[in-house]
Structure 1
Amino acid sequence: MTTNGEQDSDALMRSEIHRLGILLGHSLTRQEGPQLFELVEKIRNLSKDRPNEVAQLLARIDLDSAIKLARAFSVYFHLANITEQFFRSQDRAKERATNGTWLAQVASKIKEAGIKQETIDEAFQNLHVRPV
C-alpha cells in the first residue's frame, strides 16, 4: 500500500527524470546534432507501441549511429537509476526519522510482546552472523 507521501515522492521522482531526459536531449542535439536526437525520440516513441518497427529501424542504421544511440540510452538509464536511488534514499531517511531504525523498531516490538530477557539472550547466543 502506498501513502500520499510515497505517491508525492514518486511523482516528484518521475518529474525529475523527465527533466533530466529533456536536458539530455538538449545535450545530444548540441553535441551530436538534431539527427541523433530525432533518432532517439523516434525509437523511444516506436518502442511503446510498435517494437517490430524499432527492430527494422535498428537493422538499417550504421555502426557509428548505433554506438551513439546505445550511449544515449545508456546515459539516460544511468541518470534515471541515480535519480531513483536518490529519492529512495530520501524516503528511507524520512521513514527512519519518523519510525526509528529497523533495529529500534524490532526492540520496541520485542518489548511490546513481553518477551523475557532470557529468551532474547538465548536467541542471540544461537545467532550465526556472516558478512556477505
Structure 2
Amino acid sequence: MMNIDLDRLNQCVDAMKSLLKDGLLAVDIWNLNDGLSLAGYNSQPAAVGLFTQLTGELVSTLRDSGFPGLNRYYLLDMEGDHTAMIIRHGELLQGMLFNNKKVNLGVLLSVALPRSLEMVGQATRR
C-alpha cells in the first residue's frame, strides 16, 4: 500500500476548482483497488465505480487487441456539453466532469492535466 498525502490530494482538487472555475462540475481522486474516493468536489460514487471498471476494461482490451497501451488519460465527449477526463496516477484514478462550453480544451490539456499529474504525484511520493 502506498503512502498518500490526503492534504495534497485536496490541494489538487482546490487547484482544479480555481483553474476551471464554474466549468468544473465534479472531480474525484480515488484508489483504483477499492474504489474509495480520497478527495473530491461534488463527488460521484457511481461514476467512480463506472470509471474504475471502464478503465480496467479499456486497459485489457487495448492490450489484448495489440494496440498500444493506455498512457496517462482519456477523454469522453458526452451529450449536453459535458466532457469527462480520467487521469491515471498509478494506483489512483482522477475523474473530472466539466462543461466543455466553459472550459477551454487547450487550458485543460496544457495546464490542468500537467498540474494534476504533478500534484497527485507529489501526494504519492514517499
TM-score under structure 1 normalisation?
0.30
Larger RCO (CA under 8 A, 6+ residues apart): 2
More strand by share: 2
